[in-house]
């Protein structure tokens, strides 16, 4: 419920202008609901129409991506890039390749990215992009031709000082390589226009690990400050088995937790003896296989078809790292019933509004995605810095900076929650802290009539 009249009016306008875009509306609503105290304290935001401007992307680009498959048949996909807000820096945000990608998904991700990037403390605006192309089952040649065609159009809209995309679901080192190669071919320039690049051609050490590691650094700091606890001895469930999930699993185990379950879009594995991450990496990173293959090498593990069942496994800490809306109200209730006390989000918006209500009503330590998974974009920002300096920092240096950034994000969100009168509500705190910096920049930069 949005009580503040100004914010309620802004939301009504967003609903009218973006009919049927349920993910985008969900993301906007959550942020607006969190900003009542901030807007009451800062009438200048309403006077400057900050919220009306913030919910409307600066630019939304949709384009045709045609490519030829291995059978010689022409295929057509839809490409997107949303350049949401550039008040504090060039647009920055990942590219997602998944059949579920549409305008609503891209706009929700771009909107969230604005606040997340602001929370990192680095000078980055918010953007996001992708395509409804499904990389599953495609050959290397098909992936390459798709990525080249996608970049042929995207290259007209991005640049190291304008918009710097990165990876997301379905876009890892291979896809970034094909896209970067095409950009370079078209522009004849070697610049830091994409992040997540290979280490031999401008990438940053620790970028691959950054989102998962950052999630655990945040969780550890929150546990310590809010509960006087740590990962040590805790049972952890991690959903997904992609980039974020794998490195969240690794760091949670390094910090003393025992990860007992992981999943993919087909099902989940439960291994009460603790997930063998080397085996998961072999299946997912090397063979690009399915998580179901895990049980072949591990007699202690069982596999279950379907994703939602993973939330029925008893745990102390849940780290959803797969996709949006993967925990609904029912799953959240099950987590709480089985003793889960901490939910920190690796994926973007993995909890439905009903799930969040359950966390807050039951005193679960809830770390919202825009704060908890900001480590990926933070190290992307550090990759941009290294590219500009034409230097490469060591793993330890980047990892050390990541740790500091994640700790600062926690403290900024926690302090903001106190200022908003809801101490410990990190969702309100993260939204408020991320928002104020961007809002002040927008006020300072004026309105173009």
Which 3 state secondary structure label does DSSP give 287? coil
Rounded CA-CA distance 339/350 in Å is 20
* Minimal CB distance residue for ligand NDP: 242
Task: Among 10, 51, 65, 169, indicate the residue that binds ligand NDP (CB under 6 A).
Answer: 169
Q: Which of 33, 168, 209, 399 binds ligand NDP (CB under 6 A)?
A: 168
C-alpha 10: how far from chain center: 25
- 79 and 150 in contact (C-beta within 8 Å)? yes
Distance CA 315, CA 305 (A): 20
Residue with tokens 């309100």: 428
- Selected from 10, 248, 307, 334, the binder of ligand NDP by CB under 6 A is 307
Asked if residue 211 binds ligand NDP (CB under 6 A), the reply is yes
Return the closest-CA partner of residue 279 out of 292, 11, 425. 292
Contact letters for ligand NDP, residues 13-52 (x by CB under 6 A): ----------------------------------------
Which of 351, 373, 425, 431 is close enough to bind ligand NDP by CB under 6 A? Answer: 373
Active-site annotation holder among 128, 251, 258, 284: 128
Shortest Å distance, C-beta 109 to ligand NDP: 6
Q: Based on CB atoms, which residue is closest to ligand NDP, 37 or 279?
A: 279
Binding pattern for the stretch 375-414 against ligand NDP, x by CB under 6 A and - elsewhere: -x--------------------------------------
Does 164 contact ligand NDP by CB under 6 A?
no
Instruction: Give yes or no for residue 347 binding ligand NDP (CB under 6 A).
Output: yes
* CA 188 – CA 361 distance, rounded (Å): 55
Report the residue from 93, 202, 346, 368 that binds ligand NDP according to the rule CB under 6 A.
346
**283-287, Cβ contacts within 8 angstroms, sequence gap of 24 or more:** 283/241, 284/241, 284/242, 284/246, 285/246
Q: Would you say 63 and 150 are in contact if contact means Cβ atoms under 8 Å apart?
A: no
Show contacts with ligand NDP in window 174-203 (CB under 6 A).
none
Tell whether the torsion through CA atoms of 131, 376, 413 and 386 is positive or negative.
Answer: negative
For the window 235-274, what string marks contact with ligand NDP as x by the rule CB under 6 A?
Answer: -----xxxxxx------------------xxx--------
Give the phi and the psi of residue 196 in degrees, each rounded to 5: 90, 20
Query: In this structure, is the dihedral angle defined by the CA atoms of residues 340, 345, 348 and 354, taken in order, positive or negative?
Result: positive
- Distance between CA atoms of residues 385 and 404, nearest Å: 17
CA angle at 173 for the pair 172 and 178, rounded to the nearest 5°: 105
Strand partners, 261: 237, 270
**92 included as an active-site residue:** no
Q: Which span (162-170, 251-259, 402-410, 413-421) binds ligand NDP, by CB under 6 A? A: 162-170
Least separation, in Å, of the C-beta of 288 and ligand NDP?
8
- Site for ligand NDP (CB under 6 A): which residue of 165, 170, 368, 381? 170
Binding site for ligand NDP (CB under 6 A): 167-170, 211, 240-245, 264-266, 307, 321-323, 346-348, 373, 376
Question: Could you give the residue numbers annotated as active site?
Answer: 128
């Amino acid at each position: 419920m949005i009580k503040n009249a100004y914010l309620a009016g802004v939301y009504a306008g967003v609903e009218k202008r973006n009919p049927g875009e349920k993910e985008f509306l969900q993301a906007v609503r959550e942020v607006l609901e969190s900003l009542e105290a901030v807007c009451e304290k800062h009438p200048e935001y309403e006077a400057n129409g900050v919220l009306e401007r913030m919910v409307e992307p600066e630019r939304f680009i949709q384009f045709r991506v045609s490519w030829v498959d291995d059978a010689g048949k022409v295929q057509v996909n839809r490409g997107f890039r949303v350049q949401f807000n550039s008040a504090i820096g060039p647009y920055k945000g990942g590219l997602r390749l998944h059949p579920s990608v549409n305008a609503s998904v891209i706009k929700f991700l771009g909107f969230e990215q604005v606040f997340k990037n602001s929370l990192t403390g680095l000078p980055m605006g918010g953007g996001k992009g992708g395509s409804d192309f499904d990389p599953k089952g495609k050959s290397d040649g098909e992936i390459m031709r798709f990525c080249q065609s996608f970049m042929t159009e995207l290259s007209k809209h991005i640049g190291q000082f304008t918009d710097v995309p990165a990876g997301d679901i379905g876009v890892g080192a291979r896809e970034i390589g094909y896209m970067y190669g095409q950009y370079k071919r078209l522009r004849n320039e070697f610049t830091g226009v994409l992040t997540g690049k290979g280490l031999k051609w401008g990438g940053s050490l620790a970028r691959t690990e950054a989102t998962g590691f950052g999630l655990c650094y945040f969780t550890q700091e929150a546990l310590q400050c809010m509960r006087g606890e740590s990962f040590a001895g805790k049972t952890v469930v991690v959903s997904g088995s992609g980039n974020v999930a794998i490195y969240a699993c690794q760091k949670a185990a390094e910090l003393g937790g025992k990860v007992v379950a992981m999943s993919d879009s087909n099902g989940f594995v439960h291994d009460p003896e603790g997930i063998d991450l080397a085996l998961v990496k072999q299946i997912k990173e090397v063979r690009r296989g399915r998580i179901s293959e895990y049980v072949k090498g591990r007699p202690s593990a069982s596999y279950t078809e379907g994703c939602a069942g993973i939330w029925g496994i008893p745990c102390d800490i849940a780290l959803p790292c797969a996709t949006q809306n993967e925990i609904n109200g029912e799953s959240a209730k099950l987590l709480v019933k089985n003793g889960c006390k901490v939910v920190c989000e690796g994926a973007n918006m993995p909890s439905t509004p009903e799930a969040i209500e359950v966390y807050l009503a039951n005193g679960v330590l809830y770390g919202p995605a825009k704060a908890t998974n900001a480590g990926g974009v933070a190290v992307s920002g550090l990759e941009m810095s290294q590219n500009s300096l034409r230097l490469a920092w060591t793993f330890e240096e980047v990892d050390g900076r990541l740790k500091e950034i994640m700790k600062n994000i926690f403290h900024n969100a926690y302090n903001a929650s106190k200022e908003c009168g809801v101490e410990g509500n990190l969702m309100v705190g993260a939204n408020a802290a991320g928002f104020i910096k961007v809002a002040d920049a927008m006020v300072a930069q004026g309105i173009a009539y």
